[in-house]
Structure 1
């Protein structure tokens, strides 16, 4: 009897030019090592007229070599970012063969961008109904999608795992007045207005066109690779914030924290660092349930927020962060979600 095929379709880049990003790479590693999946690469769709009218089917038909059937399972990390027509054609191809398909949702662009491929969340939920099941970042995102028409089985991931060869540093009360922020600094406009007192060491890592735009009370540490950053993280807190304001979360980008799982939260926690998050963000629920940081309404007065934390409370948060770190390094949340979704679709 022919064995069930288990494939991860990467429709973004070829294996020779693989830049799909660490969150997707870590999920792929779990699927390959723990569940026996293999990668199936389709060349990147370029959006040209020739692509639109001919090469879409040509590229998708490369999957013919797998002779897919109804017992096979396909995982697609979503969004695909190869154009709506490509995505619809791919799902139609798979559904025609009655293959079981699982979407691992990283982002919902209709919530994230004002001019996304899908004009409304209802439109995007309708597209996701083409999958057999989906894995959503968290319960808030899941509830939002269901309220907008998602009707296929949906499993919550809770938080993205984070694989790293770097062991978390010894964190403790000696570092409780230190904060790190890492990310795309060009879109982190709030850093221009975030002023911290001298007794708080606030380090900033990331790309920025003009470091002079950062508030002078912050210490710019440059832009480093994820591997190098992992070695530098580990002391004090990690900040998860976005948008233009220190007083509240504003704008489409800032508001998106209500729904998504920011990957920087995983990177901080994997390093054994408690996190500071917006109290209305989706990740705040995880932070509070596991007591791995602070959920605040504003970062205008970080000094006061830190002073409210006793030495004992900080040490407990550090211990809890180390416990979560061990799970993130092991792929715990990815495995838990896929175990549940495979039960749903078998």
Structure 2
């Protein structure tokens, strides 16, 4: 049996956006020669039954784990991450932890010594970006750390997906996800050659101050496995919070460390990115030439006005380059290779 292993788990749905990144990571591990020693990946919505299957799968994996193996764990892993660590140490195996989410960096939870000490038991870490890596270093982590840079989003292009050519007099900026309070403030922006197309949940037309003079166009909500084929726009917006001037609140603070899966979704929709300049992924966007960063949404009008059609076209070409890696799992593959 191979020495490089992982443990598949149960997810609530095969088409659940929340589990998409972790399900993709299991596939990428398999494609890179890692073998699942747990049960097969399942998609059972019942939480009790799903938890039971995951518990039995982890136990089965620990029993099968060979001494001296390398185990890749995804964090968080419900209640089973600590159990997996215990089993790996029992079998004298090395642990690589791929970090998806950190409560300690979310303001509503605050710093958790328990979480930090749990993760310190990992031999190697794959984290989101340089900002998150620096935070781990500040917590006195001795583990070797690699950055994933961007989360992969496995997907095969649908040739029938609608992709409309850019009208530079009416640029469509897409926001996909939960509609935060800032959405309804967008009508307060100075008008320019742009509007906002909205996809997702939580949209409330009653919150629009003047429905006859709005830059908002709600397109609907679609399952995670279908939304890529429905989104048709020119730029994708990564922004959270209550105001136009900064990404505030819990989600805004987290954006300073987090790689939002939303950004990868936009790339698969062939769109350059507009992102808060203090977001951790702003550096990635600028470095790869796949969009631009702003300190306030009030800057959008000027920044778009400064861009020539040729510059936007170059951004789109750069998106195609990065997209090819994202949809084929290259970012996690490279991170794994750095640690092997």
State the TM-score bracket (shorter-chain normalisation).
Answer: 0.7 to 0.9
- 1:280 corresponds, among 278, 282, 296, to 278
Q: Counterpart in 2 of 1:40? A: 38
Does residue 271 of structure 1 match 2:269?
yes
Does residue 104 of structure 1 match 2:79?
no
Does the 8 Å CA contact 1:12/1:80 hold for their aligned counterparts? no
Does the 8 Å CA contact 2:3/2:69 hold for their aligned counterparts? yes
Q: Counterpart in 2 of 1:151? A: 142
Q: Counterpart in 2 of 1:248? A: 246
State how far apart, in whole Å, the 2-side matches of 1:206 and 1:59 are.
34
Equivalent positions of 1:185-224 (< 5 A) are 185=179, 188-195=180-187, 196=189, 197=191, 199-208=193-202, 210-213=204-207, 216-224=214-222
Does residue 89 of structure 1 match 2:80?
no
Equivalent positions of 1:1-346 (< 5 A) are 3-11=1-9, 13=11, 21-38=19-36, 40-41=38-39, 60-66=58-64, 68-82=65-79, 86-115=80-109, 119-120=110-111, 123-166=114-157, 169=163, 172=166, 174=168, 177-185=171-179, 188-195=180-187, 196=189, 197=191, 199-208=193-202, 210-213=204-207, 216-341=214-339, 343=340
Structure 1 position 46, deviation (Å): 7.3
Stretch moving more, 212-221 or 285-294 = 212-221
| TM-score in terms of structure 2 length | 0.85
Instruction: Give unmatched runs, 5+ long, in structure 1.
Output: none
State how far apart, in whole Å, the 1-side matches of 2:230 and 2:313 are.
20
State how far apart, in whole Å, the 1-side matches of 2:76 and 2:107 are.
13
Distance verdict in 2 for CA 1:31–1:58, change over 3 Å: closer
Structure 1 position 288, deviation (Å): 0.7
Does the 8 Å CA contact 1:176/1:236 hold for their aligned counterparts? no
Distance verdict in 2 for CA 1:171–1:321, change over 3 Å: farther
Spell out, residue by residue over 1:29-74, the C-alpha distance to the aligned partner (whole angstroms, 9 max, x if none).
Answer: 1111232422624999979xxx9xxx998775333541x2333222
State how far apart, in whole Å, the 2-side matches of 1:225 and 1:125 are.
34
Does the 8 Å CA contact 1:171/1:272 hold for their aligned counterparts? no
Instruction: Give unmatched runs, 5+ long, in structure 2.
Output: none
CA RMSD of aligned residues (A): 3.0
Spell out, residue by residue over 1:178-209, the C-alpha distance to the aligned partner (whole angstroms, 9 max, x if none).
Answer: 10000122xx1211211253742310000116
Secondary structure of 2:220 counterpart: coil
State how far apart, in whole Å, the 1-side matches of 2:330 and 2:169 are.
28
Structure 1 position 267, deviation (Å): 0.8
Secondary structure of 2:325 counterpart: helix
Distance verdict in 2 for CA 1:28–1:211, change over 3 Å: farther
State how far apart, in whole Å, the 2-side matches of 1:211 and 1:35 are.
49
Distance verdict in 2 for CA 1:153–1:121, change over 3 Å: farther
Structure 1 position 310, deviation (Å): 1.6
Distance verdict in 2 for CA 1:46–1:205, change over 3 Å: closer
Number of residues of Structure 1 aligned to a counterpart in Structure 2: 325
